[in-house]
Amino acid sequence: MIADWGTDERRLSDSVSVLIGTNNGGYPSGNSLVVRGTSETVIIDPSIDVVARGGAPVPVDAVINSHSHEDHIAGNGLFADARVHVHHEDLPGVRSMDGLMAVYGLDGDARESFEQTVLDEFHFTPRPDAHGFTDGHVFDLGGVNVEAVHLPGHTRGHSGFRIDNTFFLSDIDLTGFGPYYGDVWSDLDDFEDSLVKVRDEEADFYVTFHHKGIIEGRETFVEMLDGFHSVIGRRHDAMLDFLGEPHTITEMVEHRFIYRPHVEMAFVTSVEQRSAEMHVARMIRQGEATEVEPGRYQRN
């Protein structure tokens, strides 16, 4: 289970390195973290590239998952002898296929199709033996600690990690796409609270699982985080504009506020639906929109 990563292994300190995935960790791949201690070595979020290459640069004692999404748990089966840890609220998605599908909230044809993808492209291997951790849990690896920071919203258990001079942001991925809170297990308010919480993190390096990869310096991080956060407001405003005329959630789903029209993936409809529902609930709470007739909403 050892593979040569050459220059795709980037060292951030004596104990922390990043395994850069294909296309700088663009989905479906990602950037995994390896943390070497004197007593244990862990891999955080083993990507499909870790599977493709046949392992990490060193033997791994434990896998830590930031949350139970297919791209972050792809290597859980490869490291069959290693322990698996994930925030206790995301345990179901790591332990079984049924649990994983419940996290997304997919059913019917969309579920069937995504189940196949998760098996074929993401090597999903259930780990019924996985252990749960809570916010603030410290993994002492000998000379270096990995400290879990619960940052829910993307999923219920989504967590970041403080290690040495590095903070692993996982799917607070600072991309132009913006925050993803489209699963049944996602929550818009929790996501925003997590964005506020993580803004205080002090580190030399911030690492996202996708695209951006390694971000150097707190100033750059804060600037990117604020840009990422602002996407939520832009989506909200776009939906409010659309509700200048009364519309149903279904019409909002068809219009698309999260994905561009050409994107065709099994989960698009459910993500649009869930996101629209959360923004409309927020509008009603904030007195910005009203349900003018059953299932039809309009801006005030």
Nearest to 184 by CA among 273, 260, 253: 273
Q: Which position's Cβ is nearest Zn ion?
A: 69
Collect all residues with Cβ–Cβ distance below 8 Å to 187 and sequence separation of at least 6: 152, 153, 156, 181, 278
The distance of closest approach from Cβ of residue 72 to Zn ion in the complex, given in angstroms and rounded to an integer, is 6
**Site track for Zn ion across 114-153, x = CB under 5 A:** ----------------------------------------
Which region, judged by CB under 5 A, interacts with Zn ion, from 46-54, 65-73, 221-229, 261-269?
Answer: 65-73
**CA 226, CA 209: separation in Å to the nearest integer?**
18
**CA 23, CA 212: separation in Å to the nearest integer?**
10
Nearer to Zn ion, 69 or 85 (CB): 69
Nearest to 66 by CA among 140, 145, 171: 171
Instruction: Using CB under 5 A, pick the residue from 40, 49, 171, 190 that binds Zn ion.
Output: 171
Enumerate residues 68-87 that contact Zn ion by CB under 5 A: 69
The distance of closest approach from Cβ of residue 66 to Zn ion in the complex, given in angstroms and rounded to an integer, is 8
The distance of closest approach from Cβ of residue 113 to Zn ion in the complex, given in angstroms and rounded to an integer, is 19
**Site track for Zn ion across 241-280, x = CB under 5 A:** ----------------------------------------
The distance of closest approach from Cβ of residue 43 to Zn ion in the complex, given in angstroms and rounded to an integer, is 17
**CA 81, CA 70: separation in Å to the nearest integer?**
20
Which region, judged by CB under 5 A, interacts with Zn ion, from 143-151, 168-176, 211-219, 243-251?
Answer: 168-176
Q: What is the DSSP string of 109-159?
A: HHHHHHHHHHHHTT-----TTPEEE-TT-EEE-SS-EEEEEE-TTSSSS-E
**CA 143, CA 283: separation in Å to the nearest integer?**
49
The distance of closest approach from Cβ of residue 95 to Zn ion in the complex, given in angstroms and rounded to an integer, is 17
Which region, judged by CB under 5 A, interacts with Zn ion, from 83-91, 99-107, 169-177, 240-248?
Answer: 169-177
The distance of closest approach from Cβ of residue 68 to Zn ion in the complex, given in angstroms and rounded to an integer, is 8
CB atoms within 10 A of CB 14: 10
The distance of closest approach from Cβ of residue 63 to Zn ion in the complex, given in angstroms and rounded to an integer, is 16
**CA 32, CA 3: separation in Å to the nearest integer?**
14
Nearer to Zn ion, 69 or 236 (CB): 69
**What's the sign of the alpha-carbon dihedral 116, 65, 216, 16?**
negative
The distance of closest approach from Cβ of residue 158 to Zn ion in the complex, given in angstroms and rounded to an integer, is 7
**Site track for Zn ion across 17-56, x = CB under 5 A:** ----------------------------------------
Which region, judged by CB under 5 A, interacts with Zn ion, from 61-69, 85-93, 114-122, 282-290?
Answer: 61-69
Collect all residues with Cβ–Cβ distance below 8 Å to 32 and sequence separation of at least 6: 18, 19, 21, 43, 44, 45, 46, 47, 49, 50, 56, 75
Secondary structure of residue 168 in the 3-state scheme: strand
Q: Which residues bind Zn ion (CB under 5 A)?
A: 69, 171
